[in-house]
Chains A and B, each alone.
Chain A
Amino acid sequence: MKMIKSRKIFCLGILALLTTLLMMGNPVQAQQKNIILATTTSTQDSGLLDVLIPMFEKKTGFFVKTIAVGSGQAMAMGQKGEADVLLVHSPAAEKKFVAEGFGVNRRIIMHNDFIVVGPGEDPAKIKGIKSTPDVFKKIAAAGALFLSRADKSGTHTKEMGIWKAAGITPGGQKWYQETGLGMGQTLNVASEKKGYTLADRGTYLALKKNLSLDILAEGDAILLNVYHVLEINPAKFPKVNVAGGKAFADFMVSKEAQDVIKTFGVEKFGSPLFFPDAGKKEEDLGK
């Protein structure tokens, strides 16, 4: 008798749980209104998406769920069909993603650039060196502390590309430390430990007032940071919101969105954080 009663209470609990979940969840017919946008932290941390997404939602009636992770994780979500559209900045990995049939219709959105930042006293004497691989060689030769994101983000992928171009394998070296954190936190670590790191300009500008880090190398063509939008291949994942993903991608290349990107950040930082590029070719950037 006791067991039966307890079981009844237990069942009631489960019932309450399910009812709550169903009430708060999205009914199936409403699901196509939801778009899951997997993107990088820089687009969210800079505040750009806080401006663009309400515009898009108002215009189309879609509801965008922005999941801000590194580019690597965003593409991993796409590879499982757990996102509808990606906004990422890791061109080599993106090309592979499209070649393997996960993504379609990859379009260029905007760019800004990466910078090498470090302590003002510049122990590795890298200031003034134009070629970024040379900068990295100098840091390695001096054994100066370098902080790596080490999270497969777009920035981390770029950093690994530069080490490769410099012909250096930094992993396991004493002067090379991996944070495994986002850009903002890695900048804070670099600032506290007086180390060098590679950062995107937008995040650096946003955090600058709390950092004791200076821009020590910039302007090299290899430091270009290009953002693309990718739709997920519906042939591979039937549950993907194709129309929603396409609508968002179309919006990002529209004149309306591109105009916002052009002026975003000017008021707060004195210079734009991103440069709109819709319709351009990646090869032509930075020229």
Chain B
Amino acid sequence: MDLIFEGIYKAFYLLFTLDPEVMGVTLLSLQISGTATLISLLVGISVGTTVALAEFPGRKFVVSLINTGMGLPPVVVGLFVTIFLWRNGPLGFLGILYTPAAMILAQAVIATPIVMGITLAAIQALPKNLRLQILALGATRFQMVWILVKEAKLPLLPGVMAGFGGVISEVGASIMVGGNIKGYSRVLTTATVMETSRGNFDIAIALGIILLLLAFFINLILTHIQQRERPR
């Protein structure tokens, strides 16, 4: 039990003294997972909306694939991204293995199906007549899609939270494709794993608490937006 209190004390100590290494690691976590979430929003919302509105053969199969992808195991993603990015792998020419870019790529692959699946569900949950109404009012198809996405904005927010929460807390893929390089690709989760294996449990707990605080504040902001715009 003492260990946990020591860890909590250490977490606040590191936070209030603005420990440069911990700040760097925290900022990098935010940058990497934030960028990955943005990419996953771009791809996830556009593809999710398309699949939700389109009719085509094999649609159920595609939807099942997306839903399965929501539970994509990060280690498996890490393994495949590593193999693709190897110097002698198919994407080796990019030269990005063991860089933050590789971590963004892996995390985007993890978060995209989550955003896509939630988008799909949110758009499908809109009243069917809404589409007809918008079209009847003379909107182009693109305007119609845009209005639908805007209508589904609130149900989409959990997608953002789930996607971001999934990648910022993820460790398997990040350590494999990023390599946990000090001051370069070390993020909160990979640093926690390393400090644990070094026996520095207090620092590991402190990093864990910082990670929780970070996730809490991001979700607090998103929840604030969600609740403010709640239809009355």
A residues with a Cβ closer than 8 A to B are: 1-3, 5-6, 9-10, 12-14, 16-17, 20-26, 28, 31, 36, 41, 44-45, 47, 50, 53, 63, 65-68, 80-82, 182-185, 206-207, 209-210, 237, 239
Contacts and interface: CB of A to CB of B under 8 A. Distances in A.
Interface stretch (B57-65, B163-171, B175-183, B213-221): B175-183
A5 B141 contact: yes
A138 to B, nearest CB: 28
7 contacts: A2-B53, A6-B46, A17-B105, A20-B101, A20-B104, A67-B98, A239-B87
Contacts of A22: 94
A259 B100 CA distance: 33
Contact of A82 (B87, B196, B198): B87
A182 B197 contact: yes
B42 A2 contact: no
B42 A184 contact: no
A68 B47 CA distance: 38
A13 B42 contact: yes
Among B140, B144, B179, B196, find the residue whose CB has the most chain A CB atoms closer than 10 A. B179
Contacts of A45: 194, 197-198
Interface string B89-131: 0001011111111001100100000000000000000000000
Nearest to A46: B198
A237 B49 CA distance: 46
A1 B143 CA distance: 11
Given A2-B145, A21-B104, A184 B199 contact: yes
Nearest to B199: A207
A25 B198 contact: no
Contacts of B50: 2-3, 6, 10
A239 B85 CA distance: 13
A248 to B, nearest CB: 15
A1 B142 contact: yes
Contact of A26 (B92, B99, B180): B99
Interface string B169-208: 0000000000111101000000000101111010000000
B27 to A, nearest CB: 14
A86 to B, nearest CB: 15
B149 to A, nearest CB: 10
Contacts of A68: 180
A16 to B, nearest CB: 6
A16 B199 contact: no
- Going nearest first, the 10 A-B pairs with the smallest beta carbon separation are A207-B199, A24-B101, A13-B42, A184-B197, A25-B96, A9-B46, A2-B141, A6-B50, A13-B43, A5-B142
Contact of B94 (A25, A36, A65, A185): A25
Given A2-B145, A50-B182, A184-B199, A24 B100 contact: yes
B86 interface: yes
B96 A17 contact: no
Nearest to B108: A17
B42 A9 contact: yes
B46 A25 contact: no
Contact of B42 (A12, A28, A210): A12
Interface string B76-93: 000000000011100010
B101 A185 contact: no
B145 A5 contact: yes
Contact of B194 (A13, A25, A26, A44): A44
